[in-house]
Amino acid sequence: MSIMQDIKFYDCRVIEGSSTSIILDNGKIEEISRNFSRGAGVRALCGGSWGYTAVEGEIDLKHGVEAASKLAFSMNANTPKEDVELAAVNPPKIDNLPEIRIDPRNVAIEEKVDLLKSIEASAKVEGVSSTRVIYLESEFKIGYRSSDGLDCAYELLNVGFAVSAVASENGVYQAGRESRFGYGYELFETENVLELAGRAGNTAVELLKAKTPKGGEMPVLLNQELAGVFAHEAVGHASEADLVLEGDSILENRIGEQIASPLITIIDDPTLHEFGYYPFDAEGSQSRRTEIIRDGIFNSYLHSRETAAKLGGTPGNCRAQGYSMPVVRMSNTFIDNGDARFEEMLEEVRDGMYLIGSRGGQVNTGEGIFQFNAEKGYMIKNGELTELIRDVSLSGKILEILNHVTLVGNDLKMTAGRCGKAGQLVPVSDGSPHIAISKALVGGA
């Protein structure tokens, strides 16, 4: 009882869901697996300390609140610090859920297996030696309640697939990958999945003949997916206010400053029906669009209630994987359209590299350094695409690259993925139009 008097805030997230995965590998079903889960995460705040308890299975919320409160109380008693304030929130409106035309739960598992088989057949173009197709479907219901009086819930159902193909020749192995994720089984109609699968197969085969170029500093043209990874990894993470408050972001104290070419506008928007969609975040804050960079000027961090109160801003980007403790995260992050045409951009780069796709990346937000690997690319000579290249990576300083953007295309495209931070993966999407950069460090042979 005495402890609860010192707890000035607590909240609970209860999550219930199920998921299905099917893996078809080299023509054989390797795995059909289903998971049914429920659990809850409870936060309590005492002075400047948080206590957090997560429990799987059957949940006694009263007990959970007590346990989290006890942790917060002990932490505050042992190492008291400045009180944490939370920005105010209003009950969220939930009127923008993605519409689902075909509920995947009404599709028989045999039909899903047949679909995977046809996807795999399309990926198995001449020269492909190994294929793998994964189908994922998950539905979950999230309920949120807080001592501020919020009580809200939503259900979401998503579905998607990933295909990979491997080609080999004389001990060289190359892979091609494609994936799509969305909100209804109609995804498999609206996206041309068989064509995508064929593209994965063709990429693998083509890459066998590709050369590994000599690395160095040069002008580059990034395709939508790779530029999207740059927006997410290099700019998005550094704008997460929790990292800023830890003193681990080069974007600290830069609001209002010109940090990028005036051609660059970067937006995070969880209200879009892309893979990073949510109606309210893990603190019950209404999701909203944030302009991180507008016309090259750094405009806003991404916030939780705690960081919004500390730095001044609006919450709405606090997210969690399952029952984990929520942290500041991105949603759908993209570089907004400019007006350059692809041919113009090739001409602008003139002699350099066109880098396509991404095998992932990493960033050191404190030092402002990033590294990521392209799936493939082409040499650009005299403003024309020439030979195919592979094993190319891009690295550099975030702020330098942002200032070296010379053209932004008009062909914005989003890609679904999962982003890792604090040991948690959450669904996101990122995107961009093509962008031309006057100088970047490319790694190769």
Partner 1 sequence: MYELARKALKMAEKAGAEEAEIYYAANHSTGVNFKKDSLDNAKDLFSEGIGIRAIVNGAVGFASTNSARELENAVKVAVAEARVRENDSDWVGLPSNGKYPTVSGIFDKKVETLELEECIGYAMALVEGTKELPGTRPTSGGFTRAKGRQLILNTNGIEIEEESTAVSGFVDVITVNGQISTAYDFAVSRSLDIDFFALGKNASDLALKSNGGIKIEAQKTDVIFHPFAFSDILENALAPSIDADNVQKGRSGLIDKIGEELAAPELCIYDDGLVEAGIETSVSDDEGIPSQRTTVIEKGVLKTYLYDSYTAGKAGVKSTGNGSRSSYTSPPSVGLRNFIVDYPRTDVIADTHSGVFVNTIIGAHTANSISGDFSVEARNAFTIKDGALDKPIKSLMISGNAFELLKHITGAGLDVRKVGGTITPSIRISDMSVIG
Among residues 157, 175, 178, which one has the least CA distance to residue 166? 175
The CB-of-166 to partner 1 minimum distance in angstroms stands at 5
By C-beta, is 331 or 373 nearer to partner 1? 373
By C-beta, is 263 or 419 nearer to partner 1? 419
> Beta-carbon neighbour count of residue 123 at 10 Å?
29
By C-beta, is 187 or 250 nearer to partner 1? 250
Q: How far is CA 148 from the centre of its chain?
A: 30
CB 443 within 8 A of CB 395: yes
Report the C-alpha gap between 160 and 69 in whole angstroms.
Answer: 39
The upper half-sphere exposure of residue 214, i.e. CA atoms within 13 Å in the direction of its Cβ, equals 0
By C-beta, is 52 or 342 nearer to partner 1? 52
The CB-of-397 to partner 1 minimum distance in angstroms stands at 8
By C-beta, is 34 or 341 nearer to partner 1? 34
DSSP string, 11-24: EEEEEEEEEEEEEE
The CB-of-349 to partner 1 minimum distance in angstroms stands at 20
Report the C-alpha gap between 386 and 24 in whole angstroms.
Answer: 36
Report the C-alpha gap between 252 and 267 in whole angstroms.
Answer: 18
The CB-of-96 to partner 1 minimum distance in angstroms stands at 30
Written as six digits, the tokens of 154 are: 């939503």
The CB-of-165 to partner 1 minimum distance in angstroms stands at 10
The CB-of-360 to partner 1 minimum distance in angstroms stands at 4
Which distant-in-sequence residues (6+ apart) come within 8 Å of 265 by Cβ? 291, 293, 294, 295, 335, 336
By C-beta, is 202 or 286 nearer to partner 1? 202
Q: Which backbone phi and psi does 194 adopt, to 5 degrees?
A: -70, -35
Say whether 256 sits in a helix, a strand or coil: coil
By C-beta, is 54 or 266 nearer to partner 1? 54
Instruction: Quickly list H helices, 283-414.
Output: 305-311, 342-349, 398-403
The CB-of-389 to partner 1 minimum distance in angstroms stands at 12
Q: Which residues in 342-433 belong to E strands, given as ranges?
A: 352-356, 361-364, 369-373, 376-381, 384-389, 393-397, 405-408, 413-421, 424-432
The CB-of-63 to partner 1 minimum distance in angstroms stands at 11
Among residues 394, 182, 194, 161, which one has the least CA distance to residue 275? 182
By C-beta, is 39 or 383 nearer to partner 1? 39
By C-beta, is 132 or 404 nearer to partner 1? 132
The CB-of-263 to partner 1 minimum distance in angstroms stands at 25
